[in-house]
A and B are shown apart, each in its own frame.
Chain A
Amino acid sequence: MNDYKISSGYLRLALCCLLLLSSHAWSDRILQDKYSLYNRIVVKETGDFICLLFDVRRDPRYQSCINPKRPKTMVFPYARMAMASLLFVPEPSTILVIGLGGGTIPIALNELFPAAIIDTVEIDPAVVEVAKEYFGLKPSPQLIVHTQDARVWTKRASHRTTKYDIILLDAFNGEYIPEHLMTQEFLKEIQALLSDRGVMISNTFALSDLYSHESATYASVYGAFINFKIAESNNRMIIAPVNALDDKTLRATAAALKSRLKPYAVPITRYANVIIKARKRKPNWQQDARIFTDQFSPANLLQGKKR
């Protein structure tokens, strides 16, 4: 099926995730269940894992999971995929993460690059508390948590001079991405915060009617982006580097990063190969799909319709 190898380790991990999602397979223990202003926040112990999820009534959306025995290992494919941004900027000095969740990604980036300044923006103070209590988030002068609406923060940030080497868009609520964080105007504001060697990486889903609209919106701002997908995940990472690096550079960077990313279970050389192939592919969405703007962004209404 796939022309790249999946090592047994990753198979095991994928299996774990599958078991995790069919939650009956494990004896679950609810560690915390509360309503914040924005979400129902549940922290659940399930097997070896501690997971954060929003809104569990019908369709549980797992935001983050960790295995306390192996806290570095990134449990979800999307978190590992986000680390592919390092292929474009292997030594980032400034990082912006929109949407904290359990904090898996900023914590890992902070461990890997202790000198880098990491700004994270999270709207929900209760999520920040959960990340600190259960997921090992320790805010510091290098790992700064801004408890604010990301749109407001971004607009304020455009008045400052800081530019970011890596910008990760990962803001999710119980439904999908908030509608005012999916518009062309917002993506332009984010683009203005990129440094001249920077890369924007955005975590999206690839399932609903939204796909074409969302893709066309990103393309309208970033041009031909990299559509980064892997077989074991429904997530689709949109990667838009300021400088398109050649295949050789990407492979060399992957080789250099490989051992550092190993404890996090990030298969960076495989990702580099997937990305090199993805770059050559033609867009697989309707390119004339209507673009989301601040004037038109019914994303959550479209999300219900299956593609």
Chain B
Amino acid sequence: MLVVPVIYILAFTGGFVIMSMELLGGRVLAPYFGNSIYVWGSIITVFMASLALGYLFGGKLSVREPTLKKFGYIFLVSAVLLYPLILFAEPAMQWIFNRIEDPRYGSLAAASVLFMIPTIILGMISPYSVRLLVDNIETSGQIAGRLYFVSTLGSALGTLATSFYFVLWFEVNQILTYLTLALVVMSILAAFTHWRVNKSTSI
């Protein structure tokens, strides 16, 4: 009984973090590549392509003995990979800026280096959640629909909260730190729920 809401909470948070990160991407790149439309083009391209890959890998991963614990690892790994963004964004962008003159390809390269890997991992959340939730074919479409509803709602809220309020209250790196922490908390929640469920079924 506990498992289903936990999965939805995790999917919601995943959606929230993805879009919050995407919006902050514009802020991170602006000092080196400006605020032009192609900078947003680069960011959106990288996020979409990474999510596409993430869906593919997440689906593949869900085939082999899916558990809530493994699901939690996705969050932990994405947190670990997101954090270097804070530490290495400046030198990475400087390095790219010095080598690529055209700000279109510069911003595309920078967005790829900074956001691709954590976004691929975050993209694995949705298909993996569907696998954990579905228990029969008849309701599988309904469950997938509900799952996308929850995670996309998370994305909408992540976009709104970040652009309306977070940037007014915090520094970009602070927000990224909180997003990382949220992912860590989610992985702990998944691990804890997994442990609780296993304990109760073994009695």
> Residues of A with Cβ closer than 8 Å to B?
37-38, 123, 148-152, 155-156, 178-180, 183, 185-186, 293-298, 301-302
A-B contact count (CB 8 A): 58
Are B173's CB and A295's CB within 8 A?
yes
Would you list the 10 A-B pairs with minimal beta carbon distance, nearest first?
Answer: A149-B34, A295-B171, A180-B30, A298-B168, A152-B34, A294-B31, A295-B172, A298-B167, A296-B171, A152-B103
Report how far A221 CA is from B17 CA in the complex, Å. Answer: 34
List of A residues within 8 angstroms of B168 by Cβ:
298, 301-302
The prevalent SS among residues of B at the interface is helix
Report how far A150 CA is from B34 CA in the complex, Å. Answer: 8
Are A123's CB and B36's CB within 8 A?
yes
Report how far A178 CA is from B35 CA in the complex, Å. Answer: 8
Report how far A295 CA is from B36 CA in the complex, Å. Answer: 18
Report how far A123 CA is from B39 CA in the complex, Å. Answer: 13
Q: Which of B125-175 contact A (CB under 8 A)?
A: 164, 167-168, 170-174
Q: Does B115 contact A (CB under 8 A)?
A: no
With contacts A293-B171, A295-B173, A301-B168 taken as known, whether A186 is within 8 angstroms of B31 at the C-beta atoms is yes
With contacts A295-B172, A295-B173, A296-B172 taken as known, whether A301 is within 8 angstroms of B167 at the C-beta atoms is yes
With contacts A149-B103, A151-B30 taken as known, whether A180 is within 8 angstroms of B171 at the C-beta atoms is no
With contacts A298-B167, A301-B167 taken as known, whether A151 is within 8 angstroms of B172 at the C-beta atoms is no
A-B contact pairs, 12 of them (CB 8 A): A123-B34, A151-B31, A151-B35, A152-B32, A152-B33, A179-B30, A180-B31, A180-B35, A294-B27, A294-B172, A297-B27, A298-B167
Q: Does B105 contact A (CB under 8 A)?
A: no
List of A residues within 8 angstroms of B97 by Cβ:
155
List of A residues within 8 angstroms of B31 by Cβ:
151, 155, 180, 183, 185-186, 294
With contacts A151-B30, A185-B31, A186-B31 taken as known, whether A37 is within 8 angstroms of B37 at the C-beta atoms is yes
User: Considering only CB atoms and an 8 Å cut-off, how many residues of chain B contact the other chain?
Assistant: 20
Q: Specify the chain B residue showing the minimal Cβ separation from A178.
A: B35
Are B34's CB and A180's CB within 8 A?
yes
Are B34's CB and A294's CB within 8 A?
no
Interface string of B17-60 (1 = CB under 8 A from A): 00000000001001111111100000000000000000000000
A251 to chain B, nearest CB (A): 40
Q: Specify the chain A residue showing the minimal Cβ separation from B173.
A: A295
A148 to chain B, nearest CB (A): 8
List of B residues within 8 angstroms of A38 by Cβ:
36-37
List of B residues within 8 angstroms of A149 by Cβ:
33-36, 103
List of B residues within 8 angstroms of A123 by Cβ:
34, 36
Report how far A185 CA is from B32 CA in the complex, Å. Answer: 11
Report how far A149 CA is from B31 CA in the complex, Å. Answer: 10
Q: Specify the chain B residue showing the minimal Cβ separation from A124.
A: B36
List of A residues within 8 angstroms of B101 by Cβ:
156
List of A residues within 8 angstroms of B172 by Cβ:
294-296
Partner of B32, one of A155, A296, A301: A155
A181 to chain B, nearest CB (A): 9
Known: A155-B97, A294-B27. 6 other contacts (CB 8 A): A123-B36, A148-B34, A180-B30, A180-B34, A296-B172, A298-B168
Q: Specify the chain A residue showing the minimal Cβ separation from B172.
A: A295
Report how far A298 CA is from B174 CA in the complex, Å. Answer: 14
List of A residues within 8 angstroms of B164 by Cβ:
301
Q: Which of B95-111 contact A (CB under 8 A)?
A: 97, 101, 103
